[in-house]
Structure 1
Amino acid sequence: MDLDRSSSLHARARAFVDAFERGEAAPDFDELACELARYQADHAPGFARLCRARGVEPSALSRAEDVPAVPTDAFKLTRVATFDEAVTQVTFRTSGTTVGARGAHAMRDASTYEAAALAFGRHWLARDFDRPVPVVVLGPSPAAAPDSSLGHMCASFVRAFGEAAPSEETWLVAGDVLDLGTFDARVATALAKGQPMLVLATSFALVHLLDAVGDATFELPAGSRVMQTGGFKGKSREVAADELRTELARIFAIDERSIVAEYGMTELSSQFYERTLFDPAARHGTYAEPPWARVVPVDPESLAPVPEGEVGIAKIVDLMNVDSAVAILTQDRVRRLPGTEGFELLGRAPGAPPRGCSIAIDELLGRA
């Protein structure tokens, strides 16, 4: 553990966020990604084993795309961290709704994560708000789910973008029950004041909303928008993305482009957003990257980058993951479209984990 080195790297990571908020060019991405990989190889034995198994010498790294990626499933099987448990500030855990252990992402300094989440969230959800607005979260409160990274992020949005309101009027899911009465009251008050609303919601909570209201509507004030995130996790029936978006637009009486999907995960410190709210040329299903994160589609067996336009599983290089894994390997299928920014999200790879993910886990755990 080297806290001074970690703090220095956090400062360099936050410099990307500061530059973004000032509208300035970002520092060198590859340089910091490789420095983070070297730091993590020095202080995370599992990552050092993964590098050796891949024939990667951390000191020789010069490109972010060459950093070995830690599979997301590794967060369920071992501690992915460069520091002692005694200095852990917060640990986020995956939902654990499927069979098996919950993944855990320990953070020594959550302020870097918070700064990045707030800056990119503001850019794609709230950049046009000139004053606090009513914010409601169709999800459990941080008190009810203290280890949820999504709840932590939503809480930062409530503080940054929201007008003052009691917790019970902000967090509208308790015990998997959606408080429609309070939601209706918040909408009515916002309509009377002519205030746009920001609704932050999980996909399964939105399906519960659809099922509960039927043909009724919750007409939101002009300028309102909805952030939709996460899957259904067995907590509701599954609804195709296009169908869900169309029904939400009908119920809320807003344009479909005001329904913005967010893509993130517990194992990351960065998030990605659809650009439809502020970019007339953007289409749903394509996501913007912050300057501090890159999504690379890779072959599911060789883990080599695939040609532009082809589908691969997502390797994500996240410079905000200072003390865990700067590169992670997911089972989500993605594609980069020629001539466009960002990436297209195509859903989870079917069946068993891709062979490349399984091999990487064995290498990280020293089982190869």
Structure 2
Amino acid sequence: MLEKDIFTISSSEAFETTALEVFRFQYRNVPVYREFCDYLSVSEASVQQVSEIPFLPIQFFKSHTVLAENTSVAKKFTSSGTTGSIPSTHHVANLNLYEKSFTEAFTQAYGKPSEYTILALLPSYLERGGSSLVYMVDFLIKASGNSNSGFYLDNTSALIEKIRFLEASKQKTILIGVSYALLDLLERQKFQLQHTIIMETGGMKGKRKEMIKDELHSVLKEGFGVNEIHSEYGMTELLSQAYSKGNNIFTCPPWMKITTRDPEDALTQLIDKTGGINVIDLANLYSCAFIATQDLGKIYKDGSFEILGRFDTSDIRGCNLMVL
């Protein structure tokens, strides 16, 4: 029943009701989360509203199996990490939930995948394996039903020719790429695109010096000849994504919500101030839907949000994460 309720949310009241139901389910069935709540002296009975739900620190995905009891693992996704760091592992019990979440989120933001040619420039993700981003993009490429859609690894020349062909054909296209690979592409070829959306994700992965987001987007806009750079905000530990269509301002699908906390006090909530990002991802039903990330951001009154950086002590990894 909960699986269906998650994707029928259409109001803040419905979100509140479903989030409380998900919390109760996870408190009863996810041992790591229950132990964390108990440590904070938070019980199932003591939580009466969403603002009282504890957020599990994302570091637990490096040291524990965050998974509901009596479920089997359908897929393991791992974070990219940095050399020598411990990767996060997300044990996913229900791939249908992940597929439904990212397909509906994409459709709500952009329309059906079949309306686009989808090009993927994600070399660092393809090379390591275990990437939830690659799983998502591969699924969307197949859902596009377009023979021109596909991944590109080292065949930059073929990608340049494909973009030229699609532009000449006036084909609606999305090029989703890890930031450093998009910059590498622009060193080979500059563009003046009219029918292609550029969506960056993933940072520099140690391949280039990190850049402030505004600087990166300025370089990409000039190089691709577009007015806006789109972005995808997701991570290994989540099953949902938020999208930005410009200015680094992200919006969530109805079953996902961002809040911010005081970096010095994990149990606070902030509005219109920079703080640590907490994510409610109700699609993450059989793992943990309430995660305290190591990102810094700002929430606006309409529910949109901006990513401003990361805590100094955090690993440089994940989707769309930049260090200022």
TM-score by length of structure 2 reads 0.88
The question of 1:241 aligning with 2:221 is answered: no
The alpha-carbon distance between structure 1 residues 56 and 239, as it changes in their structure 2 partners (threshold 3 A), is same
Alpha-carbon distance, 1:45 to partner? 1.9
Unaligned 5+ residue runs, structure 2?
A: 316-324
The question of 1:120 aligning with 2:105 is answered: yes
Counterpart contact for 2:80–2:128, Cα < 8 Å: no
The question of 1:97 aligning with 2:82 is answered: yes
Counterpart contact for 2:54–2:267, Cα < 8 Å: no
For the pair shown, the structure with the greater C-alpha radius of gyration is 1
Counterpart contact for 1:34–1:58, Cα < 8 Å: no
SS of 2:267 mapped into structure 1: coil
Counterparts of 1:97 and 1:40 in 2: how far apart (Å)? 30
Counterpart contact for 1:229–1:263, Cα < 8 Å: yes
The alpha-carbon distance between structure 1 residues 180 and 294, as it changes in their structure 2 partners (threshold 3 A), is same
Alpha-carbon distance, 1:313 to partner? 0.3
Structure-to-structure mapping, 1:148-163, within 5 angstroms: 148-161=131-144, 163=146
The alpha-carbon distance between structure 1 residues 241 and 322, as it changes in their structure 2 partners (threshold 3 A), is same
Q: What is the RMSD computed on CA atoms of the aligned residues?
A: 2.4
Identity of aligned residues (%): 27
Amino acid at match of 2:67: A
Within the candidate set 181, 190, 211, 1:217 is matched to 190
Within the candidate set 244, 247, 253, 1:290 is matched to 253
The question of 1:264 aligning with 2:231 is answered: no
Structure 1 residue aligned with 2:20: 34
Output one character per residue of 1:210-253: Cα deviation in whole Å (capped at 9) or x when no partner: 3x32xx41343x23101111222212232332222222222222
The question of 1:45 aligning with 2:25 is answered: no
Within the candidate set 302, 305, 310, 2:268 is matched to 305
Output one character per residue of 1:262-307: Cα deviation in whole Å (capped at 9) or x when no partner: 111111111111143xxxxxxx122112211111111123213344
Counterpart contact for 1:203–1:229, Cα < 8 Å: yes
Output one character per residue of 1:306-348: Cα deviation in whole Å (capped at 9) or x when no partner: 44222210111110110011100111111123x4441121110
Structure 1 residue aligned with 2:311: 349
Counterpart contact for 1:275–1:288, Cα < 8 Å: no
Amino acid at match of 1:11: K
Higher strand share: 2
Unaligned 5+ residue runs, structure 1?
A: 1-7, 17-23, 277-283, 354-368
Counterparts of 1:252 and 1:242 in 2: how far apart (Å)? 15
Alpha-carbon distance, 1:26 to partner? 7.0
Counterparts of 2:83 and 2:126 in 1: how far apart (Å)? 23
Counterparts of 2:68 and 2:303 in 1: how far apart (Å)? 33
SS of 1:15 mapped into structure 2: coil
Output one character per residue of 1:169-224: Cα deviation in whole Å (capped at 9) or x when no partner: 72112xxxx321111121122133221321011112223223x32xx41343x231
The question of 1:56 aligning with 2:36 is answered: no
